[in-house]
Amino acid sequence: MEKRATIYDIAREAGVSTATVTRVLAGHPSVKTATREKVQRVIDAHAYTPSASARDLERGQTKTIAIVMPAVINPYFTRVYNAAYREAEACGYYAWLFQIEEHKPIPRELVDELIRRRMDGVIFAGGIWSTQRTGLPEALERLRHYMPVVTICPPAVDLDCICIHSDLVACSRLPVRHLHALGHRRIAFIGGSMRLNDPSKRGENFLEELRALDLPDDPAYHVDAGFDAESGERAVLRMLSGLDRRRWPTGIIAFNDQMALGAIKQLKQMGLSLPSDMAIIGCDNQFFCPYTDPPLTTVDLHPEEMTQSAVRELLLARDNQAGAFSLMREASLIVRESCGAKLGYRKLG
Amino acid sequence: MEKRATIYDIAREAGVSTATVTRVLAGHPSVKTATREKVQRVIDAHAYTPSASARDLERGQTKTIAIVMPAVINPYFTRVYNAAYREAEACGYYAWLFQIEEHKPIPRELVDELIRRRMDGVIFAGGIWSTQRTGLPEALERLRHYMPVVTICPPAVDLDCICIHSDLVACSRLPVRHLHALGHRRIAFIGGSMRLNDPSKRGENFLEELRALDLPDDPAYHVDAGFDAESGERAVLRMLSGLDRRRWPTGIIAFNDQMALGAIKQLKQMGLSLPSDMAIIGCDNQFFCPYTDPPLTTVDLHPEEMTQSAVRELLLARDNQAGAFSLMREASLIVRESCGAKLGYRKLG
DNA sequence: CTTAAAAATGTTATCGGTAACATTATTTTC
DNA sequence: GAAAATAATGTTACCGATAACATTTTTAAG
């Protein structure tokens, strides 16, 4: 690779000092037009681009924020990442994604790397971590000395940082009430169960909603599973095959849309027709929801808006030194046809 | 934020020189055990992490490669990104994703940023760019002076760099032959048409396959569209509504799985039953393919493997100074049920 | 035409590491 | 026990920018 021109080369060739070159680069006003043009010509001639390492070293900042998330294979995280990238860009920053494994501790090495690379801030996202097992609090404790941190995840125990999250109570209430309003009485939940120490408490919230409506909270109506489509299949199979047909639920709420996808397949395979024999609701409003058969009713957590707030608050926190606080984003039910209703967009309190 | 400890602080406190600290950091053998331990204690006490900016500046490399791609909203690119991240990590590098807009020119500002940030290499990915309009050749010309470049995209005109691509002829041949073998004679193609100056030539290849098999290459059998599910819907509607029912194709090949998703919905909406009334084939083997109804037969381009090669070749190119060459990855047909066949996995020559 | 004020430019310490080279301490060898 | 070899550590120039401060040039004021 070629030897790069440095600011000294440019200064020498333009017959000025490096300070003047810096001024031209920064668009500083106190440079004579003639000088500016002369320097600019040399810059252009060499296609000179100043070294970010050198600048960062001197300035003590990198104009870069880190996003730490589980694999972007999951479309939800794809949306988070995209929103972060765009918002950062709009604020004159770059976003850098660091992937972690969903259910493993955050590697110490990664935390070090974020500090080494002098990130101007970090966003941790991940709705389904168990904060205990991932060691988020410890990572946070270390990072907070060096950079502001914002999390996009359930407001779990004593995370001493800015926390953006969605209304996870509504996230359970909306679908339960929707099904209830449509006449369903036996409602089940698949995935991300309470037994997994799920900080989002989706399972617990689900149960509470059932109780609030005097519906049966039969333990057979919620089963553990992974978070992908195949888990959805398995969960449905496991639940229904263990249950006398007369006790089958009439509606199923899935932890996310992928699981709903799998559930739909399994239900059809068992000979049920949807939505008449079984209603189903997903979560996340993924791109494929309008294209399932029947189109999937789901909950939208508005990850883009949450992420946008996260980036803004992060950048604000750099200056303000603001303490910990949390911000909640409401959830919306997106009604399609998988519950038999065809009402367009609608919110339930 | 806190003042960070520097290598000088550590050296002073440990009563050694900075060189010794550097040696301890690098695990250099010629440090007495006692000294090493003493220094390490101070390092640990301060949780000292050396500045990457300073190191990069001195070393002239960043241990970072850039991936430049259209939005990762598209699951295909998600897979590319993931594979790149993993492979880079396995090689001791970090991967940094930079997003661009699919059909707009690569911003000059982005190219500059890659140079400024002293990336150790760049991978451009994107199957569907028109290289002319994106200005890839120009970007490449500028970048190649500073870092090795690898593209994962159709081997378009005179890209003077390492180019990894999939067998795009097979990508058209496989589905056409599959349908032909199942008895289909009127076969249509939706999306990414030749009129768009598509460097992947999927449309052209499709036509050639038809001709090779003496099948009708009626222009009504291929329609332009975008690349998402909605485009698939529209494309099918447009094609079929413009065609006398007796001339309808019996099989449709979609540019990608999302389009196939839309096509399926539209076909069902028109009252057709799949696969008996219409066969359909997608491309990319996305996660949702097994979950469409019927499960979608598709082509797998093996993006993960391609990307892995891309990263390896890129890192190799740093040392070897190797010239331009290209590497092709074969495509596989993944047979499910959307064409009426249920054969499991199978390849067609 | 001075002189003060303002504008333009230059000088240089600094950011935090690395590593070549120099120096000092410790062994080894005879 | 002195010289030579080796091990351990220190000194310092350098990487390529930035910006505070100093200096020179130009303009304005009297």
Matching fold, domains A7-50 and A59-167+302-330: no
Which pLDDT value is given to residue A127? Answer: 60
Gap between the Cα atoms of B238 and A82, Å rounded: 32
∠ at Cα A167 (A163, A169), nearest 5°?
125
B168-301 is classed CATH 3.40.50.2300 = yes
pTM, two decimals, is 0.91
Which pLDDT value is given to residue A195? Answer: 58
Which pLDDT value is given to residue B348? Answer: 38
Asked if A143 has any chain B CB less than 8 Å from its own CB, the reply is no
| Alpha carbon distances (Å) from B66 to A50, B148, B150 | 18, 11, 10
Q: How far is B256 from chain A (nearest CA, A)?
A: 14
Q: Is A219 helix (H, G, I), strand (E, B) or coil?
A: helix
pLDDT > 90: what percent of chain B? 71
Contact B215, B242 (CB under 8 A): no
Q: Quick one: residue B232, left, alpha or beta (phi over 0 = left, psi -120 to 50 = alpha)? A: alpha
| Alpha carbon distances (Å) from B224 to B154, B156, B234 | 19, 21, 10
**Dihedral, B172, B174, B175, B181 alpha carbons, nearest 10:** 130
Query: Which of chain A's residues have a Cβ under 8 Å away from the Cβ of B147?
Result: 1
Sign of CA dihedral A160, A162, A165, A169: positive
At the topology level of CATH, where does B61-166+302-330 sit? Rossmann fold (3.40.50)
Tell me the backbone φ, ψ of residue B69, rounded to 5 degrees.
-150, 160
CA(A7)–C1'(C8) in Å? 19
Which pLDDT value is given to residue B153? Answer: 84
The full set of domain ranges for chain B reads 7-50, 61-166+302-330, 168-301
Q: Is B313 helix (H, G, I), strand (E, B) or coil?
A: helix
Gap between the Cα atoms of A225 and A188, Å rounded: 13
Q: Which of B49, B72, B268 sits opposite A116 (nearest CB)?
A: B49
| Alpha carbon distances (Å) from B54 to A55, A117, A306, B238 | 10, 10, 35, 59
B60 touches strand D (CB under 7 A): yes
Mean pLDDT value of segment B22-44 = 94
Contact A317, A162 (CB under 8 A): yes
CA(B30)–C1'(D7) in Å? 7
Gap between the Cα atoms of A341 and A334, Å rounded: 11
Gap between the Cα atoms of B108 and A341, Å rounded: 50
Query: Which of chain B's residues have a Cβ under 8 Å away from the Cβ of A317?
Result: none
Tokens 């399972």, located at residue: A203
Q: What is the pLDDT along chain A (349 residues), one digit of tens a residue?
A: 778 899 999 999 999 999 999 999 999 988 999 999 999 999 999 999 999 999 999 999 999 999 999 877 788 889 999 999 999 999 999 999 999 987 788 999 999 999 999 999 999 998 645 556 678 888 888 998 899 999 998 876 667 889 999 998 999 999 999 999 999 999 999 986 555 566 778 888 899 999 999 998 888 898 878 888 999 999 999 999 989 999 999 999 999 999 999 999 999 999 999 999 999 999 999 999 999 999 999 999 999 999 999 999 999 998 777 778 899 999 999 999 999 855 444 433 3
Gap between the Cα atoms of A339 and A349, Å rounded: 18
For the domain bounded by A7-50, which CATH number is listed?
1.10.260.40
Which pLDDT value is given to residue B126? Answer: 81
pLDDT digits (tens, 9 = 90+) for B56-72: 999 999 999 999 998 77
**DSSP calls for A171-189:** HHHHHHHHHHHTT---EEE
Gap between the Cα atoms of A96 and A98, Å rounded: 7
Q: How confident is the model at residue B219 (pLDDT cuts 50, 70, 90)?
A: confident
Q: Which of A118, A228, A292 sits opposite B52 (nearest CB)?
A: A118
Q: What residues of chain A, 172 to 231, have a C-beta less than 8 Å from chain B?
A: 228-229
At the topology level of CATH, where does A59-167+302-330 sit? Rossmann fold (3.40.50)
Q: Do A265 and B293 touch (CB under 8 A)?
A: yes
Taken as a whole, chain B contains a residue count of: 349
- Best CA proximity match to B301, nearest among B286, B281, B320, B321: B286
Q: Do A52 and B116 touch (CB under 8 A)?
A: yes
Which pLDDT value is given to residue B227? Answer: 83
CA(A16)–C1'(D27) in Å? 22
Gap between the Cα atoms of A344 and B133, Å rounded: 40
Neighbours of A71 (CB within 10 A): 16
Which pLDDT value is given to residue B342? Answer: 53
Best CATH choice for the domain A168-300 from the list 3.40.50.2300, 3.40.50.300, 3.30.160.250, 3.20.20.70 = 3.40.50.2300
| Alpha carbon distances (Å) from A129 to A105, A125, A196, B225 | 10, 9, 10, 40
Contact B200, B155 (CB under 8 A): no
Q: Is the pLDDT of residue B344 over 90?
A: no
Chain C positions within 7 A of any protein Cβ atom are 7-12, 14-21
Gap between the Cα atoms of A146 and B51, Å rounded: 12
Q: Is B166 helix (H, G, I), strand (E, B) or coil?
A: strand
Rounded to the nearest integer, the mean pLDDT of chain B is 89
Query: Which of chain A's residues have a Cβ under 8 Å away from the Cβ of B54?
Result: 53, 57
Which pLDDT value is given to residue A194? Answer: 52
Position B11: which residue type? A
Q: Is the pLDDT of residue B122 over 80?
A: yes
Neighbours of A83 (CB within 10 A): 23
| Alpha carbon distances (Å) from A150 to A130, A155, A175 | 17, 11, 29
Which pLDDT value is given to residue B252? Answer: 96
